[in-house]
Each structure stands twice: as structure tokens, then as C-alpha cells.
Amino acid sequence: MLTWILGNVSIVWQQLCDIRLTDIIDIGFMSIMLFFAYKFIRERRAGKLALGIVLLFLLMIISNALDMYVTRFFLQNIFQMGIIVVIILFQPEIRSALEKIGGEPIKSIKGIGEQKDTTESLSVIKEVCDAMGDLAEEKTGALVVFERTTRLGDIVKTGTVLNADVSSFLLKNIFFNKAPMHDGATIISNNRIHSAGCFLPLSLNEDIIKDLGTRHRAGIGMSENSDAVVIIVSEETGTISLAMDGKLKRGFTRDTLAAELESLLITDNLYKKIKNLKNDKK
């Protein structure tokens, strides 16, 4: 018995000694990729599709083990077209993932080379929050999109280009109930109102609360397809919501909305540290 244990320990030790550093890096890299892939599709419709693929794969293994010729033949033909099918089924998720992967390095490079003027950004946030607060009190619907690293040129083309300074007065006029562009979204890019009356892609997520209307679905859809920050004011309840990464947060006030936007849009790390110190003292 002792000889058998020592023999197995020797074999395991020999195998461990044969492992190269590149093998460890390779396994670690693949593990990280699989973890983020799982995290990305877990709360999306693609999660159900991925589960279906895994079940087919398990059925393929069982059919091979039990010599189920008909089932194996059928599944083999399905898996031969597997890559094309996966690309077609996961097209929205693949596009969103690639945009996010490409956006992070760009964001980091911009953070090193240049930062938006903090004073200007704070002024824009204040004007937007003032407008959203007034519109919420009046129960006037609104939809505002803050462009970040993902460019929204295709969305801008669906509306009217304004290229105007951000002011609460202008925003309230855009979303005035009888204004021609009040039903669309307003795009804010580089601290300016780039375009208004834009059409956003609707979310296809079936898990969205049923009482949310088209405006909310459009805001969530925009956040699913880009890294934009989207503000929605409900026409029915006057509730202020914020959509990002396909998730919706509701029940904001002027002050809490301003704080949330500052944390998401201000790139000045020194400003954030000073503000955090002030908050800690309070």
C-alpha cells in the first residue's frame, strides 16, 4: 500500500515538474476569459442560449458513450455548423462585448493624455440635473444620453444635430410636451448637446418590468449596446431613472442624480479624492 502511494506521489510530482511557466499563464489566461464570458452572458438572453448549447454538448457525449448512432449523427451535423450558428445567435452580445473590450484601453489612454475640464463637466451635470428635476415635477417625459467611449454617430444621424451648449432651459424646451423633438432622445457628447429627437434601439430583454414603457426600454437598449449613461424621466410617474450596462436604477432626486453622474462622468481622480474626503468628514 505504501509503495502504491509513493509511486503515485512520484508520478504526480513528475507531472508537476514538467509544467512550464507558459502553461500556467495559458491556463490562467483561459480561466479569466471563461470567467468574464460567464459574467457577461449570465444576466442576458444569451445565458439561456449558452445553456442550450451546453445541454446539446452533454447529449453529444452521452450519445457517443452509448453508441446512439442516430442521435450522434444528428448532433454531429449540428456542431459542424456550430461556429456560424453561435455567431448568428450571439451577434448582439458579441458586438456589445467587443465594444466594451475596445473601449477600456481607449478610456485608459484618454485618461493619461487628456481629461475633460472638470469645471465644465460639473456645470453640464448641474444643468442636466436641474432640467431633469423640473421635468420630473411636471411629469414630462425625457430621455438624455451621455456619450462616453462608444461613439454614437449612427444614433446621432436619426435626430437633428444641434451642437449647442448644455442648459436646463434648452433641455426643458426640447422635451416640452408639444415640441417636435420631445419623443426622441437627446445626445450629449463632449459636454455639448450634439443631437436631439434621436431614435434609440429598444431592449429585447424579456425580464424587464412589464410596466416600463417604450422610453425606458429605449434607454436600457442604448445602455446594452454601448457604454453610454442614459437618464430617463417617466411621463406617468415623474420618476427619474438611470440606465447603464443594461441595468436600470430608479428613484433619483436632483442631488442623488448629480452625485451618480459625477462618479460616472468626471475623469479627474484628484477631484474625486477631495470629494470623498469631504464626504468622510461629514
Instruction: Over range 183-209, report the average pLDDT.
Output: 88
**Does 124 lie in the same domain as 236?**
yes
Arithmetic mean of pLDDT over the chain: 79
Q: Let me know how long the chain is.
A: 282
**Does 141 lie in the same domain as 79?**
no
Strands 142-146 and 185-189: parallel
Answering whether pTM is above 0.85, one says no
Instruction: Over range 245-268, report the average pLDDT.
Output: 88
Nearest to 236 by CA among 151, 150, 139: 139
160, pLDDT greater than 80: yes
Domain that holds residue 36: 2-111
| Cα angle, residue 114 at apex, residues 189 and 122 outer, rounded to 5° | 50
Instruction: Over range 147-151, report the average pLDDT.
Output: 85
114/96 Cα distance (integer angstroms): 26
- pLDDT-based confidence at 198, cuts 50/70/90? very high
Residue that is last in its domain, among 85, 111, 137: 111
**Does 159 lie in the same domain as 268?**
yes
220/145 Cα distance (integer angstroms): 11
**Does 153 lie in the same domain as 269?**
yes
| Cα angle, residue 125 at apex, residues 132 and 274 outer, rounded to 5° | 135
CATH classification at residue 219: 3.40.1700.10
Number of domains the chain is built from:
2
109, pLDDT greater than 50: no
Q: Are 259 and 278 in contact (CB under 8 A)?
A: no
- For residue 230, the SS3 value is strand
223, pLDDT greater than 80: yes
211/229 Cα distance (integer angstroms): 22
**Does 75 lie in the same domain as 141?**
no
Cβ neighbors of 24 (< 8 A, separation 6 or more) are none
Residue that is last in its domain, among 87, 111, 135: 111
Instruction: Over range 167-187, report the average pLDDT.
Output: 91
92/275 Cα distance (integer angstroms): 38
Nearest to 145 by CA among 200, 182, 100, 95: 200
216/47 Cα distance (integer angstroms): 23
**Does 149 lie in the same domain as 271?**
yes
Q: Residue 281 has what pLDDT?
A: 52
Instruction: Over range 80-93, report the average pLDDT.
Output: 66
**Does 142 lie in the same domain as 163?**
yes
Residue that is last in its domain, among 65, 84, 111: 111
Q: Residue 127 has what pLDDT?
A: 95
**Does 138 lie in the same domain as 103?**
no
**Does 187 lie in the same domain as 268?**
yes
**Does 98 lie in the same domain as 148?**
no
**Does 95 lie in the same domain as 181?**
no
**DSSP element (H, E) containing 142:** strand 142-146
**Does 229 lie in the same domain as 153?**
yes
Provide the grid cell at 199: 431614435
Other CB atoms within 10 Å distance of the CB of residue 174: 22
